[in-house]
Structure 1
Amino acid sequence: MRRVHAMPFGAQILADGAVRFRVWAPDHAAIALALDGAAAPLPLAREEGGWHTLVTRTARAGSRYRFVLPDGLHVPDPASRHQPVDVHGPSEVIDPRAHPWRDGAWRGRPWHEAVLYELHVGTFTPGGTFRSAIERLDHLAALGITALQIMPVADFPGRRNWGYDGVLPFAPDAAYGRPEDFKALIEAAHARGLMVLLDVVYNHFGPDGNYLHALAPSFFTDRHATPWGAAINLDGADSGPVRAFFIENALYWLTEFHLDGLRLDAVHAIRDDSATHILDALGGRVRAAFPDRHVHLVLENEENHAHRLERRADGTPRAYTAQWNDDMHHVLHVAATGEGEGYYADYLGDAAKLARALAEGFAFQGEAMPYRGHARGEPSAHLPPTAFIAFVQNHDQIGNRAFGERLTMLAPAEAVRACGAVLLLLPQIPMLFMGEEWAASQPFLFFCDFGPDLADAVRNGRRAEFARFPAFADAARRARIPDPLAQTTVAASTLRWEDRDIAPHAEALAWHRRILALRHAELAPRLPRLRRGGAARVIGAGAVSVVWTFEEGGTLALDANLSPRGVAGFAPPRGRVLWQEGMAERDVLAPWSVRWSLDDG
């Protein structure tokens, strides 16, 4: 089986073996192609709408090329499928038909079966490649993971990066391998029953290696402002090709790489005032394109726009399947750690927000959020719990700390275990961060590999970012923040797989395997019958009860005391007890105790 997404731009190998090169450059009268092996640049023909096209038999799979601007600047293809020597080098013509897919029967898995595992390819294994990640898939399948959530792989500058500084969104970064290596990882995951979702960034480009400013200035606009500079032009007079660029990117990954879904980064930062928002257009195109596959679209959206998660009458998503639930993370994090700086202050000691996030998804549903200084969120209780992805750790919440501490380095073991027992049996979709299953002791630090023009600015900016926190008021302490440009920083963030087989990590791994097995056996098959949120009751400080009612009868109940003190006032279990963490006696739950019960009605 061969999989090809026929894009309206980039380098496309035609049926007769010729290669068509097409690029949008409306501000330039002439564009040429510098092709390895050609004696001189080949002119492209200018077409209506600012497009430039060339069909030639001089190129073939493996040919390297760049576009040449009138001032002589050589730039990579914005739709490059591969950059063998990084973002400033030539693009390579790729023939997607060369990869013989062997997963033709794979149609994905329904969303209610999802247990996500977020990983960064470069630090997931010592090898740091797509191929080396394959070696750990059996571990994930045995753990009870059903879906990989891979941090962005779009080509970024240098040898290491979180991925959110990508500038060539169609090209898997060569630091991890070639496109066929990424396809091999996806195919190997499917062979083990694992879905693969990819993180994509449509709100900005990284600061180094983005040649679109030179190639097509109309790609950007000054009508909107973003934290990363000029906004992407999604709603101006020349926005049609820009919108198509991102929609085709989504279709490309889902088609040509047979991915099972995408996670769209920080969609709250996508500025679009057009009649049809780019998110609506993209979601509609994806839903129409894959009627016979389970394809899942996930959002990161700080504004908690519940309307983007609406369901049809049959319970299927209109466009977007789920959203990362930051509120769920925040209520569990402050319960476990007692931290109250920054946005955590709006959650600390607020059992009502804990109860609401557990029962209804969002803790803020239109109320003013003091940290932000304005209202946040929309009502979400009518949505099914599976519209939310819950986690107590992810790359942001760990890596944006100065020293990249995981939760196990910040909270008592019994508190971490209690939060895990809530998370992994919650009817929201759970997500673990790589190594969390064995309580990995490695931090996950911020790292990148910019050239000298940006390196000092990033290094100094990272330390200045923490100067406003009391703990980093001292310059000497700020100086100890790991250098994001240093190789030692990425090395410190790489998982040590040998740790999982020794105490206490082996015990943590066994615990995660047991509770995930219970989730798959008892909870996942029942989730399609939960069409809306639950009913919550605050019992005391850090102590709540939540009951979800299934269609056609029956309930799932959570009793949780996420505090260091025993709390009285809990009702007896509803039906049979599925899982108990800690101690419960009569109406009292001991500190850090969690009880799940199921009544089939």
Structure 2
Amino acid sequence: MGHRLGTAGQARQHGDRRVDHGVCFNLWAPTAQSVELLEAGRPPQRMIGDDDGWYQWLSPTAHVGTRYQFRINEDLVVPDPASFFQPDDVGAPSEVIDTAAFRDPVLYPGRPWAEAVIYELHVGTFSEEGTYAGLEKKLPYLRDLGITAIELMPLNDVPGRHNWGYDGVLLNAPNARYGRPEDLKRLLRAAHALDIMVYLDVVYNHFGPQLNYLHLYAESFFTTRHSTGWGPAVNLEGQDGAFVREFLIENSLMWLRDYGFDGLRFDAVHALKDDSERHFLIELAETVRSQLAGRRVHLMLENEANQAHLLERAQGEAKLYDAQWGDDFHNALHVLLTGEDEGYYRAFADRPLEHLARSLTEGFAYQGEVFPLHDAPRGEPSAHLPPEATIFFAQNHDQIGNRALGERLSRLVSPEKLDQALALVLLNPHIPMLFMGEEAGADTPFLFFADWSGQAAELTREGRRREFAHFKAFSTPDMRARIPDPCDEKTFVASKLDWTAIERSPASVRFRGLTAQLLQIRREKIVPLIKLGFVSAQYRLLGEDPRTGGLDARWRTEKGDMLQIVANFADRELPLPALVAGECLWRLRPAETQALLPGEIIVRLGQET
């Protein structure tokens, strides 16, 4: 409903006339010789094709709830690639769903972007039930903590019982393992009733390796002109690319318009290869902004290219995208906290303190400099952007789950360093994000898991072990054998949050209290400054070692208010820099000393001395 690629649209346009009953089925299959509709309980119907590769059939007997599939070339039976629900998994029949019926007559107004405190979670591992209903029960807990937005890892359907969601096959169909579409809508309404925004992570740069049939009947959905780490790129160019662009944009609109999501996070957009005059990302954002004008809709990017032009503002509002995930900030902070320098941390291990300070005050650490891992320039100048154009975090699904053993920071650093990292993330003027359980210092792993079978499962296992072969800790076959099998159900189960520990262990209770306290300070003292706007930012490094030491970062508003963060990441005391005159919002160790203690962090608000 809403576009033609494989859409089952109730009471939709049929040819040149309107229909008032039944369902009009459409499939774009430009490389198919024939397409049949297999409607449950009815004889197969040969669909009518046109010169553009569209096949259509109006069924007078189909209705909401009808199950159906398509048969390609009288042989291959496939689900609807634009299915809105797969009640019995990806390879089974699709179900007709009227998502337009989910639209609320009175819309939740959302919240200003400056108020966003994002909590990223995976529906299947967040609660004991692993369902939308299980998450709904925990919403008051998140509200009381001070969370204003939850971000769901991808819901698009994938084969099997469990998956991160980034290998989606059917982009419009929320995974039946978590509940029905009606249950998802109920979750959003419950969150909105508590004034919690709901964001969704969507993936347009590739499709999963199993039960993705598009290349068999819509070969031009992909292109060999570009390649990605997942194979041929999604085709966004030319006439065929126009159909693909429409499909992906309509997917975004469906989540935002029909289900009522308050924003989307677009995964790895640097892999959306497009040489068109108007890049797909521009068209996507402009279309969403135009069609949903009047709503607070927040659009976020994961973008290794650090493209600041996508984050530009006009009269204080985002023209295209509200923010980008701040991987530079995370990577520099991780090096400072753990001392790790392998993998992508190598690009930040030379000057982690400077990389962190530059991220804090300018958004990106790499703004056109040569990136060591690619041996090529990376990024664009970003110092002119407001802090809220970057989302900062100390942990997320990627940075935990892409570790061989899925360890959280709580397993890697001392409680004192964990406290310091939390205070830094929550009290700086960028948009903060926590990963599920982080607010309580959870130590359960979050591992990479999938439920592939056959060759896909074996390739995933071997690929996972090969990925870590160059790390010292996994340099031998015996060491790599310790890496959990992603396709073993035990790996998925081990990644579930332990709510008994979160709610009862003294360490978790203390950490939850700290999180709530910091978020109250942010809400009362820092959010008003973000709304007012900062006109300048600067930093100074403390100490003589570029790989460790401390920093003094400051942001100034037009009215002269100064927010200052001083932090010491060294294992020794440092001289205390001049502090702004005014209010101490936070000091990790409140002792009034003239030295900056190891692990210290001070946040002050006032006037520059």
TM-score relative to the length of structure 1: 0.96
Shift in Å, 1:584 = 6.0
Instruction: Give the Cα–Cα distance (whole angstroms) in 1 for the partners of residues 107 and 485 of structure 2.
Output: 46
1:532–1:117 distance in 2 versus 1, CA, 3 Å: farther
The Cα shift of 1:455 comes to 1.2
Q: In structure 2, what is the equivalent of residue 350 of structure 1?
A: 352
CA-CA distance at 1:347 after TM superposition: 1.9
Q: Deviations over 1:24-53 (max 9, x none)?
A: 112234321011010x21122223422111
* Secondary structure in 1 matching 2:445: coil
Q: Distance in 2 between matches of 1:543 and 1:469?
A: 29
Partner of 2:54: 51
For residue 8 of structure 2, what is the amino acid of its counterpart? A
Give yes or no for the alignment of 1:596 onto 2:593: no
- Structure 2 match to 1:327: 328
Report if the CA contact (8 A) 2:34-2:74 is conserved. no
- Residue 358 of structure 1 aligns with an amino acid whose one-letter code is L
- C-alpha displacement of 1:97: 5.1
Question: What residue in structure 2 maps to residue 572 of structure 1?
Answer: 579
> How far apart are 1:525 and its partner, in Å?
2.0
Give the 3 Å change call, closer, same or farther, for CA 8–287 of structure 1 in structure 2: same
- Tell me the distance in 2 between the aligned counterparts of 1:237 and 1:97: 28
- Deviation sequence 1:158-208 (CA, Å, 0-9, x none): 000000010100000111111111111111111111000000000000000
Q: What are the superposed Cα offsets for residues 231-274 of structure 1, whole Å, 9 maximum, x if unpaired?
A: 11111342110111111111111011100000000001111111
1:298-447 aligned within 5 A = 298-312=300-314, 314-348=315-349, 349-447=351-449
Per-residue deviation at 1:105?
A: 4.3
CA distance in 2, matches of 1:98, 1:254: 14
1:562 is matched with which residue: 550, 569, 580? Answer: 569
Alignment of 1:11 with 2:14, yes or no, is: no
CA RMSD of the aligned region, Å?
A: 1.5
Cα deviation, 1:82-120, whole Å, max 9, x if unaligned, reads 01111111111012355484x824111110000000000
8 Å CA contact retained: 2:2, 2:250 = no
Pick which of 332-341 and 431-440 moved more: 332-341
**Partner of 1:30 in structure 2?**
34
Letter in 2 for 1:468: H
Q: Which runs of 5+ in 1 are unaligned?
A: none
Question: Are 1:224 and 2:229 an aligned pair?
Answer: no
Aligned-pair CA distance for 1:585: 4.5
Structure 1 Cα separation of the partners of residues 240 and 522 of structure 2: 49
CA distance in 1, matches of 2:103, 2:223: 42
CA distance in 2: counterparts of 1:394 and 1:276, whole angstroms? 32
Q: Does residue 534 in structure 1 map to residue 534 in structure 2?
A: no
Q: How far is the alpha carbon of 1:8 from its aligned partner? A: 3.5
1:531 shift after superposition: 4.4
Alignment of 1:201-240 (within 5 A): 201-240=203-242
Q: Paired residue for 1:197?
A: 199
The yes-or-no answer on 1:514 pairing with 2:517 is yes
CA contact 1:557–1:574 (8 Å) conserved in 2: no
TM superposition shift of 1:587: 4.4
**1:11 corresponds to which letter in structure 2?**
A
Contact in 2 for aligned 1:384/1:533 (Cα 8 Å): no
Task: State the alpha-carbon separation in 2 of the partners of residues 499 and 134 from structure 1.
Answer: 20
* Local SS of the residue matching 1:135: helix
Q: Which amino acid aligns with 1:174?
A: A
> What residue number does 2:14 align with?
none
> Which residue of structure 1 aligns with residue 496 of structure 2?
494
- Distance (whole Å) between structure 1 residues aligned to residue 257 and residue 74 of structure 2: 37
Listed one character per residue, the Cα deviations across residues 263-298 of structure 1 (whole Å, up to 9, x for unaligned) are 000001111111111000000000101111100000
Give me the whole-angstrom Cα distance separating, in 2, the residues matched to 1:443 and 1:404: 5
Deviation of the 1:532 alpha carbon = 5.1
Q: Which residue of 2 aligns with 1:159?
A: 161
Change (3 A) 1:572 1:96: closer
CA contact (8 A) 2:552 2:565 kept: yes
Q: Hey, what's the Cα distance between the residues in 2 that align with 1:74 and 1:68?
A: 4
Q: 1:35 to 1:295 in 2, by over 3 A?
A: same
Is contact 1:353–1:363 with CA below 8 Å preserved after alignment?
yes
Structure 2: gaps of 5 or more residues: 12-18
Pairing 1:165-180 to 2, within 5 Å after superposition: 165-180=167-182
- 1:545 deviation in Å? 0.7
Residue type of the partner of 2:489? Q
Q: Using the TM superposition, give the Cα deviation of residue 389 of structure 1 relative to its aligned residue in structure 2, in angstroms.
A: 0.2
Check whether the contact 1:364–1:377 (CA below 8 A) recurs between aligned residues.
Answer: yes
| 2:528 paired residue number | 525
Task: Return closer, same or farther for 1:372/1:142 CA change in 2, 3 Å cut-off.
Answer: same
Q: Secondary structure at the match of 1:575?
A: strand
SS in 2 for 1:234: coil
Once residues 358 and 3 of structure 2 are traced to their aligned partners in structure 1, the CA distance between those partners, rounded to angstroms, is 44
Secondary structure of the 2:165 match is coil
Residue equivalent to 1:132:
134
Q: Is the 8 A contact 1:360 1:533 kept in 2?
A: no
Distance 1:368 1:585, change over 3 A: farther
In the TM superposition, what are the counterparts of 1:72-151 in structure 2 within 5 Å? Answer: 72-96=75-99, 99=102, 101=104, 104-151=106-153
CA contact (8 A) 2:87 2:94 kept: yes
Q: Where does residue 66 of structure 1 map in the other structure?
A: 69
Match of 1:402, SS state, is: coil
- 1:47-100 per-position Cα deviation (integer Å, ceiling 9, x unaligned): 342211111212111111111111421111111000111111111101235548
Amino acid at match of 1:390: F
Q: Is this contact kept in 2: 1:438–1:506, CA < 8 A? A: yes
Aligned 8 A contact 1:584 1:593 in 2: no
For residues 511 and 35 of structure 1, do their structure 2 counterparts lie closer, same or farther at Cα, with a shift above 3 Å needed?
same
Q: Judge which range, 212-221 or 561-570, deviates more.
A: 561-570
CA contact (8 A) 1:530 1:548 kept: no
Structure-2 residue corresponding to 1:272: 274
Query: Aligned partner of 1:339: which letter?
Result: E
Deviates more, 1:532-541 or 1:209-218: 532-541
Residue 553 of structure 1 aligns to a residue whose secondary structure is: coil
Percent of aligned positions that are identical: 48
Q: What is the letter of the counterpart of residue 161 of structure 1?
A: N
Displacement of 1:569 = 4.6
Quote how far apart the aligned CAs of 1:17 are. Answer: 2.8
Distance in 2 between residues matched to 1:106 and 1:259, nearest whole Å = 10
Secondary structure of the residue that 1:239 maps to in structure 2? helix
